[in-house]
Copies of this chain bind each other. A is one copy, B any other.
Amino acid sequence: MRKRVTIRDVADRAEVGVGTVSRVLNGHPKVSDNTRQRIKSVIADLDYHPHFAARHMRTANSQTFGFITDQIATTPYAVKLIQGAQDAAFQNDMLLLIINTEGNPALEADAVKLMLERHVEGIIFATMYPRIVTLPPAIHQLPAVLLDCMVADGALPSVVPDEYGGGYLATRTLIENGHERIAFINLHQESLAAKGRLRGYRAALRDHGLSNGDRYLRQGTDWADSGYQQAYDLMRLATPPTAIFCGTDRIAMGVYDALKEMNRRIPDDISVIGFDNQEIIAAYLRPPLSTMEVPFYMMGRFAIEYLLSGSDEKIQKQMACPFIERESVRTI
């Protein structure tokens, strides 16, 4: 029990030398069919798995990609990024070697070093919210792609969500449902996500002749409390909005609480759209929240498929954020 089967075990059971087993494993012709069959059947019986690195050393073909993340912990998003990468890798007979650095630059350098030592065929560097990163120079020694982040000079390919497009589509969806007084409670303003979504919101209003000097724009944090506070503030205006676009689903969670306390019905009295499609929130709020999906799963797949393509192009891919319709938007 709990003993790794070795080439010696196979040789002993088949009553041949280790060299003969090795020749069979390497497809060497100088073994009789009889012996070859006997050895193969022993290999199957014993469930023997020869050392991958020993067989593949010459090709330096590790069939492994490295996946470095900065902080897997703080958000459930990580799961879908990794799952998308995982699925695409496994479907192509590749494995992922995963290291989580918790955003520590020393660990990042270590992680790249460890990946190089293990001859990974490419590296994915993923952050858990979109941002500009600085990476250890050794990453340029092999194919690399950035997931949910970018380097300032565009010298590495990247895939990020189209935040602008998501902000635009959320706002346009409300406009198409007849809303003209549309509030936006944005997430913390330093993030690329906040900047892109805000540009999208303003552009959609402008394109439809509804610009209002940011009268209904409010600055939140990422969290429910800020949604709660800002919803009270917005609904006390002399001419309150008829729809609230929230920078995150968590903000929408706070907006729901405030609206319910004020006895405003969603969507009959006021429409709400979130952002992120965090199912655990969006699908289980009452009523279920219509929201914008961040395509984490597809981004993870894209990163792997880019590496598999062998492309040299420094692509800076932006993936669309689709509208997920549930029950919190009403046509007026």
Q: Are B90 and A254 in contact (CB under 8 A)?
A: no
Task: Name the B residues within 8 Å of A280 (CB-CB).
Answer: 76, 250, 278, 280-281
Which single residue of chain B is at the shortest CB-CB distance from A110? B90
Given A73-B80, A119-B52; A86-B107 close (CB under 8 Å): no
Which residues of B lie under 8 Å from residue A228 when comparing CB positions?
A: 286
The interface residues of chain B lying within 8 Å CB-to-CB of A47 are: 137-138, 141
Shortest distance from the beta carbon of A129 to any chain B beta carbon, whole Å: 15
Give the distance to chain B from A162, nearest Cβ to Cβ, in Å.
23
A16 CB within 8 Å of chain B: no
Most chain B CB within 10 A, of A53, A87, A96, A143, is at A53
Which B residues are in CB contact (< 8 Å) with A225?
A: 284
Identify which of residues 78-117 in chain A touch chain B, using a CB-to-CB cut-off of 8 Å.
Answer: 78-80, 82-83, 86-87, 90, 95-100, 107, 113-114, 116-117
Q: In the complex, which residues of chain B have a beta carbon less than 8 angstroms from the beta carbon of A224?
A: 284, 286
Copies of this chain = 2
Which residues of A, 211-259, contact B by the 8 Å Cβ criterion?
Answer: 223-225, 228, 250, 253-254, 257
Contacting chain B: which of A1-9, A31-39, A178-186, A315-323? A1-9
A90-B107, A98-B98, A116-B49 known; A76 vs B76 contact (CB < 8 Å): yes
Evaluate contact between A118 and B52: CB separation under 8 angstroms: yes
- Answer yes or no: A140 CB below 8 A from chain B CBs: yes
A64 at the interface (CB under 8 A from B): yes
Q: Is the CB of A100 within 8 A of B73?
A: no
Name 17 A/B residue pairs within 8 A (Cβ), A-sorted: A2-B143, A2-B144, A4-B142, A47-B138, A51-B57, A51-B60, A52-B117, A53-B118, A72-B79, A72-B86, A73-B80, A76-B76, A79-B79, A83-B100, A90-B107, A97-B98, A280-B280
Question: Residues on A close to B: CB < 8 A?
Answer: 1-5, 47, 49-54, 57, 60, 64, 72-73, 75-76, 78-80, 82-83, 86-87, 90, 95-100, 107, 113-114, 116-119, 137-138, 140-144, 223-225, 228, 250, 253-254, 257, 260, 278, 280-281, 284, 286, 312
